Homo-oligomer: A and B are copies of this chain.
Amino acid sequence: MLEGIRILDLTRVMAGPFCTAMLADVGAEVIKIEVPGRGDDSRFLGHMEQGISTYFLMLNRGKKSLTLNLKSNEGIDILKSLIAECDVLIENFRPGVMAKFGLSYADVKAINAKIIYASISGFGQESPLVDKPAYDLIIQAMSGLMSVTGSPDGSPTAVGESVADICSGIYTAWGIMVGLHHRDKTGEGCQIDAAMFDSLYSMSITGLSQFFYGGTTPQRVGNRHPATYPVDSFETSDGYVTMVVATEKVFAGLMAGIGQPELSDDPKFADNKSRNKHERQLKGIIEDWTRRYTSDEVVEKLTEHRVPVGPLWDLKQVAESEHIATRGMTVMETHPILGDMPLVPQPLQFSGQNSRISGPPPELGEHSESVLMDILGYDAAAIEELKFKNVI
């Protein structure tokens, strides 16, 4: 769907690569710039298999790799020639690094006024925190998300995936499309300044709607809903289930399901206020029952009583589920060394689009020659010279 859109991708590790993988999935040409001889740091991060980072593979599906030494004048010159031929430039260096390369938005705009120039950083290009390190864990802790995640009698808890990186990446993919739309209407490019911190802040709608207007600072409530009970997780004989019981009618179904229909008439559980007051007792009653059955059995029995309930799955159960197979959410490619190479595409299904990803991840510098030849018109001799001089 983005055929003809060319993206110059200077990003490393996670937020940026997650963003450009989404854009590659829907047909954009993503030219990933990598350090000659080494490549993206993420080629050495995360799970490694036979010396290959499978984390890198999953984050870089469908991209081209062009090695380019940005510390050489010739490397910068090549990059500037490419800027003239691209619709989008995206980078996630520390603020200020692009300017040192002579590649600030003003510099780039002078070459290509219509370009969309997107920067992802921890705290944005201008902020009192601009010099703070932009690691996912630090952003999760500073942005408030950790403060509301976890048990009230435990400690603040980090999400078990790099959500600050990922969510800022998704936001930026959206912003790039907004920029392209605006460019197509007006002929004008723009700069996009995305901050991981701001991305998580903008997501804290539930907590902020309490803090701003109620004046109380949201605290950790474990897995239960801050206001409604029983919306919570419950232990079973082989794991956990979660359920959402938000009305008297559903509560009556739950009590019938656990074989104690009379409790739905008990004044202690008559409404949400009473159920909150007697939360501990109610949780005990429900869990005494759920612990007698497997998660699947609990889900089956309570679903019969129209209680919204689901099992807790680990990533193996998820990845091997019939749902993921039906939805085409794991795409199998072949890696030259590893063989089977499962990749996970962006999640949306667009009608009329059959392929979920546009190709495998690149070997380091796999497309250096083709990019230089096809886009910039270099010949074989010129490319040999660039290799000799360690420019590519």
Contact = CB atoms under 8 A, between A and B. Distances in A.
B209 A55 contact: yes
Given A141-B312, A144-B317, A174-B22, A349 B161 contact: no
Nearest to A21: B205
Contact of A231 (B137, B201, B207, B317): B137
A47 interface: yes
B222 A157 contact: yes
A271 interface: no
A321 to B, nearest CB: 8
Contacts of A197: 323
Given A312-B142, A323-B127, A205 B344 contact: yes
Interface string A181-196: 1101100101111110
A141 B242 contact: yes
A198 B1 CA distance: 20
Interface string A282-316: 00000000000000000000000000111111111
A233 B156 contact: yes
Given A144-B313, A313-B143, A221 B160 contact: yes
Given A137-B242, A221-B160, A188 B145 contact: no
A161 B137 contact: no
B174 A204 contact: no
A68 interface: no
Interface residues of A, number: 142
Contacts of A313: 141-144, 147
A360 B180 CA distance: 27
Interface stretch (A69-77, A210-218, A375-383): A210-218
Residue with the highest number of chain B CB atoms closer than 10 Å, among A57, A163, A209, A349: A209
B205 A312 contact: no
Contact of A192 (B154, B201, B348): B348
Contact of A312 (B146, B219, B310): B146
B244 A138 contact: yes
A57 B174 contact: no
A157 B199 CA distance: 22
A138 B308 contact: yes
A249 to B, nearest CB: 14
B350 A179 contact: yes
Given A208-B319, A326-B128, A158 B223 contact: yes
Contacts of A188: 352
B205 A58 contact: yes
A236 to B, nearest CB: 12
Contact of A209 (B58, B173, B209): B58
Interface stretch (A164-172, A252-260, A272-280): A164-172
A150 to B, nearest CB: 6
Given A171-B347, A204-B315, A212-B330, 8 more contacts: A46-B210, A142-B311, A146-B223, A161-B207, A174-B177, A192-B350, A201-B344, A201-B347
27 contacts: A3-B185, A126-B326, A133-B244, A137-B244, A141-B312, A143-B313, A143-B318, A149-B149, A149-B157, A150-B150, A150-B160, A157-B157, A160-B218, A160-B221, A177-B177, A181-B181, A184-B184, A192-B351, A193-B348, A193-B349, A194-B348, A198-B327, A201-B344, A212-B342, A213-B338, A213-B342, A217-B314
